[in-house]
Amino acid sequence: MAKPLKMGLIGFGNIGCGVIQALQDNRDLLDARCPRPLELRRVCDVDLRRPRPVEVDSALLTNDAQEVIGDPDIDVVIELVGGIEPARTLVEAALRAGKHVVTANKAMLARHGAELLALAAEKKVRLLFEAAVGGGMPVIRVLTECLAANRITRIEGILNGTCNYILTRMSAAGLSFEDALADAQKNGYAEPDPTADVESIDAANKIAILAALAFGLDIRYEDVSREGISKLTHDDLKAAAINGYVIKQRAVAEMDEDGGVAVSVRPTLLWKDHPLARVDGVLNGMIIEAWPVGAIHLVGPGAGPRPTASAVLSDVMALSALDERNAPPPPFLTIPVREKPSAHIEASCDGYWLRILSSSEFGAVADVARILTKHRVPTEWIEEEPQPAAGSDGALKTIRVFTGEASEEAVGRAVADFNAAAWCPPESPVLVLPLIQETSAPNWGSESGEMPSSLSPI
């Protein structure tokens, strides 16, 4: 009989309950599949009195994390506290104590992942984090194991189920942002303080982790260009839909031929047949473009106790398959400390979509066209909506522009001119969203024999 893999869980909240529930419900199957039996030895939380949906032997419970980290019997610490501190300190202490760590903590990893992974390597233990990105959608293992032989060129995804739910409700039910947010909160899909979700902080954490792994660079939260979704109106989504586009909170990480890297999260117009345009509600979705595979598209539940438990336990099972007599093999892909991209570049797109509010009865459209021409931004389409802008008491009109391919810099100069124009209400600056055309749908693996020159080994 193999020695049990002894686990200490820190953070007995919703996710922790989901993990314990899955351990109990799938006990038979886990016993049959794991090379070492999984044994839950400790469950730690600051608040042990709160009622919970799972039963745990009270002898396992503690409110002192040291009783987990300091217990020489425990092989694996499962960190489900969330947030940056004290989680980081706990994880560091666990690794220093020679314990494997399994965590779902994206905020911590997007800031301290490189150092923690280096510490794990030094201590000859593993730090695993499938649950940190994509919930039950196994993006970390797909990227770092299934596609490990590939040169990754682009990752794009919908990585925040809260925002995706809000945008889906705004689009499908005609709700305002505020009403869709309230609806999400009512349904348990958004926190009472929704800032981390709607300001794209959560998705930025996730794309930073994916970009760092994919490109083998020290890319962190602060390297991500980030824009929230709270400025979007139902009219914006409707106007986009009329033209065949869906607005999604799109996270993207790309590398260009010179090793420059773009990492951003922002609301983006996606052509309606784009695979991510069809990922609705609380689902997450990802596209990974890589050589030689072509492209892989993955959709799944991005959050919730049960999907997250699936991810946490896949990490625990991987640990149960390690040879306990020897150091574990290093991961195929990791995040190096202080290896920065050669340059931060703009994520590629096929044009921009501008929403410009104007207080002028006449002339603003001509002014908009003149300014775009001046900055050499090609214009595919300009329209002034006949009805007044929503919420403006009839005082403001909406002008919408689809540009052709243009540099973000040129568009930025035009937008600065718009915002300075007499007809632009200072409280409503121009909204600029990138747009992705049908022609930029993923390359699913061309049958041409040539490797794109941008992918040539250096």
Give the residue with the Cβ less far from its own copies, 152 or 239. 152
374 is catalytic: no
- Residue 401 CB, shortest distance to its own copies, in Å, is 31
Cα distance between residue 201 and residue 66, in whole Å: 30
Give the residue with the Cβ less far from its own copies, 155 or 354. 155
Cα distance between residue 232 and residue 438, in whole Å: 22
Give the residue with the Cβ less far from its own copies, 145 or 385. 145
- Residue 284 CB, shortest distance to its own copies, in Å, is 10
In angstroms, the Cα distances linking 191 to 75, 187, 194, 237 are: 33, 10, 5, 23
- Residue 424 CB, shortest distance to its own copies, in Å, is 41
Give the residue with the Cβ less far from its own copies, 165 or 418. 165
User: Which of 99, 106, 206, 397 is an active site residue?
Assistant: 206
Give the residue with the Cβ less far from its own copies, 55 or 447. 447
- Residue 287 CB, shortest distance to its own copies, in Å, is 9
What's the one-letter identity of residue 301? P
Query: Which residue do the tokens 């009109």 mark?
Result: 397
Give the residue with the Cβ less far from its own copies, 203 or 287. 287
- Residue 22 CB, shortest distance to its own copies, in Å, is 5
What's the one-letter identity of residue 10? I
Give the residue with the Cβ less far from its own copies, 230 or 314. 314
- Residue 195 CB, shortest distance to its own copies, in Å, is 23
Question: Which phi and psi (to 5°) does residue 34 adopt?
Answer: -85, 130
- Residue 400 CB, shortest distance to its own copies, in Å, is 28
- Residue 156 CB, shortest distance to its own copies, in Å, is 14
Give the residue with the Cβ less far from its own copies, 10 or 19. 19
Compute, in degrees rounded to 10, the torsion defined by CA atoms 336, 341, 345, 350: -50
SS3 string, the chain, reads: CCCCEEEEEECCCHHHHHHHHHHHHCHHHHHHHCCCCEEEEEEECCCCCCCCCCCCCHHHEECCCHHHHCCCCCCEEEECCCCCCCHHHHHHHHHHCCCEEEECCHHHHHHHHHHHHHHHHHCCCCEECHHHCCCCCCHHHHHHHHCCCCEEEEEEEECCHHHHHHHHHHHHHCCCHHHHHHHHHHCCCCCCCCHHHHCCHHHHHHHHHHHHHHHCCCCCHHHCEECCCCCCCHHHHHHHHHCCEEEEEEEEEEECCCCCEEEEEEEEEEECCCHHHHCCCCEEEEEEEEECCEEEEEEEECCCHHHHHHHHHHHHHHHHCCCCCCCCCCCCCCCCCCCCCCCECCCCCCCEEEEEEECCCCCHHHHHHHHHHHCCCCEEEEEECCCCCCCCCCCCEEEEEEECCCCHHHHHHHHHHHHHCCCCCCCCCCEEEEEECHHHCCCCCCCCCCCCHHHCCC
Cα distance between residue 235 and residue 376, in whole Å: 28
- Residue 182 CB, shortest distance to its own copies, in Å, is 18
Give the residue with the Cβ less far from its own copies, 40 or 432. 40
Tell me the catalytic residues. 206
